[in-house]
Each structure stands twice: as structure tokens, then as C-alpha cells.
């Protein structure tokens, strides 16, 4: 074997060994192929990227405006929040309810009242604050020179707790994202938190309502006034004066 043929054979063996280490089993036949770099991985990557892009676009176009509870894409409405809530079964309150009590009033209200949860009459009618406590709240709203149609009223939990008991922490946790979504859509100037559950949920603290009431607080940049729940005022009418003082502060803040 001549030196030239021996050198070619040696180069060929080296090339085959290199191809085998790279996973290649086919011998390239073109004269210049021995020096050409592998291009298979470079060709397949752009094709995969091109296939993935349309899928991502489809997901973005079909995404709901309420991406997840309490997280809103700009332009969401209360109807879309209600649709996201659906026939909610996120906690055990669904087992005893007649219907979900989402909220009522002006979706662009400058004043929002947040209560604790639906009672018996609210559960029957699907409207918040229509029982005895609701009748007192209506009088309070009218005394502030508003009407139920010009404000928005909702609760921390959307289903009636059995026997009107206090909502439990896991029940509040299940409903809270939808309350926050409602408030982000409405963007009121002032929130009135009725009772300890509304105030403590929105402020994320466990200070008693007797210490919170009458003190301006802030919720996501919105002025918040904690005061007594109308049901408590029915049991303790001597506290109505304090509640009225709180509501007068709200009226001043809103230019009433």
C-alpha cells in the first residue's frame, strides 16, 4: 500500500470513529463530506420553534379575561368574574345553599359596601342584604344620600353559612379571590367594610372591629372605612350612633 493510500485510509478510520461517537451510522460519500460539520441538530431546532409559536398564540387569544381567581386581565367585567365563579363548589358552603349571592348595584359605583355572608332571605332571593339587616343597611345608605342602585353591595362569602354561623377560614379563603376581583373591576373611591369579617379579610389582620371602626384605612389604594355590621346594630342599637359617625366620614370623603 502506497503512503498516499495509507494516509487516506487512516483519515477515513478517524472520520468513521468521530461519526460513530456522534451517533452517526451512515458513511458520507461526497468528496468534501469528511470535513463538513454535522448540521442535523441545527435544522430541526427552528422547525420545532415554528410549530410551537402558533400554539402559544392560540392560547393567548382564547384565554379568559379572568386568568385566575382575583387576577384580572384589563377590561374584565363583573359578568366575567361571575362567569369565572360559575356553579362554585370550592368549599363546603355549596352543599347547603339555595343559590350563589354574588352582589348587586352599580358596577361603576364610587361606594361599595362589603358584608360577611348571605343570610336566609339573601339565600332565597340571590340578592345581598335584603333581610332585617339589609333593611337597616338600606336606611343607612339612604341617610347618606345614596340609593342601593347607586352603590354596590357584596359579601366576603357568596353562599349562606348554615344557620347563619360565622364563615370559616377555608370558606373565606375560597371566596376571597372573587371579592378582590369584584373590587378591582369596580374601582370604587371608598369601601365600607361592614363588621369584623369584611374588615379583617380586606385588611389581612385580626384587629377587632371595635378598634378598627372609624379609622380610615387603605385597600389597594382605595380608602376603606371599617364600621359595625347592620346585624350587630340590630342587637346593639346603642352602637348606631358610632356607625353613623363612621358613615358621615365617608360622606365627607365623597363630597356629600
Residue 104 lies inside a defined structural domain of this protein? yes
Higher pLDDT, 125 or 23: 125
Residue 74 lies inside a defined structural domain of this protein? yes
Residue 1 lies inside a defined structural domain of this protein? no
In the predicted model, is pLDDT for residue 64 greater than 70?
no
**How do residues 232-252 score in pLDDT, each as one tens digit?**
999 999 999 999 999 999 999
Q: What is the pLDDT of residue 76?
A: 86
Nearest one of 99, 158, 140 to 229, comparing CA atoms: 140
Q: Are strands 104-105 and 111-115 parallel, antiparallel or unpaired?
A: unpaired
User: Is residue 85 classed as helix, strand or coil in its secondary structure?
Assistant: helix
| Count of structural domains within the chain | 1
Residue 131 lies inside a defined structural domain of this protein? yes
Q: Which domain holds residue 234?
A: 66-253
In the 8-state DSSP scheme, what is residue 131? Answer: S
**How do residues 125-167 score in pLDDT, each as one tens digit?**
999 999 999 999 999 999 999 999 999 999 999 999 999 999 9
Residue 89 lies inside a defined structural domain of this protein? yes
Q: What is the pLDDT of residue 46?
A: 42
Assign residue 157 the CATH number of its domain: 3.40.470.10
Q: What is the pLDDT of residue 31?
A: 39
**How do residues 189-230 score in pLDDT, each as one tens digit?**
999 999 999 999 999 999 999 999 999 999 999 999 999 999
Say how many C-beta atoms besides its own lie within 10 A of residue 121's C-beta: 16
In the predicted model, is pLDDT for residue 50 greater than 70?
no
Q: What average pLDDT score do residues 9-15 get? A: 53
Residue 24 lies inside a defined structural domain of this protein? no
Four-point Cα dihedral 116, 118, 120, 121, nearest 10: 120
- Name the pTM for this structure: 0.74
Amino acid at each position: 500500500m502506497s503512503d498516499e493510500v495509507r494516509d487516506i485510509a487512516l483519515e477515513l478510520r478517524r472520520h468513521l470513529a468521530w461519526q460513530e461517537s456522534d451517533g452517526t451510522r451512515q458513511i458520507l460519500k461526497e468528496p468534501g463530506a469528511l470535513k463538513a460539520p454535522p448540521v442535523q441538530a441545527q435544522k430541526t431546532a427552528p422547525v420545532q420553534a415554528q410549530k410551537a409559536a402558533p400554539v402559544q398564540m392560540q392560547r393567548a387569544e382564547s384565554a379568559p379575561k379572568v386568568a385566575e381567581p382575583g387576577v384580572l386581565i384589563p377590561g374584565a367585567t363583573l359578568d366575567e368574574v361571575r362567569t369565572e365563579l360559575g356553579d362554585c363548589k370550592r368549599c363546603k358552603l355549596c352543599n347547603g345553599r339555595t343559590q350563589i349571592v354574588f352582589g348587586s348595584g352599580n358596577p361603576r359605583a364610587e361606594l361599595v359596601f362589603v358584608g360577611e355572608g348571605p343570610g336566609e332571605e339573601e339565600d332565597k332571593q340571590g340578592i345581598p342584604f335584603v333581610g332585617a339587616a339589609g333593611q337597616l343597611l338600606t336606611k343607612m345608605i339612604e341617610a347618606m344620600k345614596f340609593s342601593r342602585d347607586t352603590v354596590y353591595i357584596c359579601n366576603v362569602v357568596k353562599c349562606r353559612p348554615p344557620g347563619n354561623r360565622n364563615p370559616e377560614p377555608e370558606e373565606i379563603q375560597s371566596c376571597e379571590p372573587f371579592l378582590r376581583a369584584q373590587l378591582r373591576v369596580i374601582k370604587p373611591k371608598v369601601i365600607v367594610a361592614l363588621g369584623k369579617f369584611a374588615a379583617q379579610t380586606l385588611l389581612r389582620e385580626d384587629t377587632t372591629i371595635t378598634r378598627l371602626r372609624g379609622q380610615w384605612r387603605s385597600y389597594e389604594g382605595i380608602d376603606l372605612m371599617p364600621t359595625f355590621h347592620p346585624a350587630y346594630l340590630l342587637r346593639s342599637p346603642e352602637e348606631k350612633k358610632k356607625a353613623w359617625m363612621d358613615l358621615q366620614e365617608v360622606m365627607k370623603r365623597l363630597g356629600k
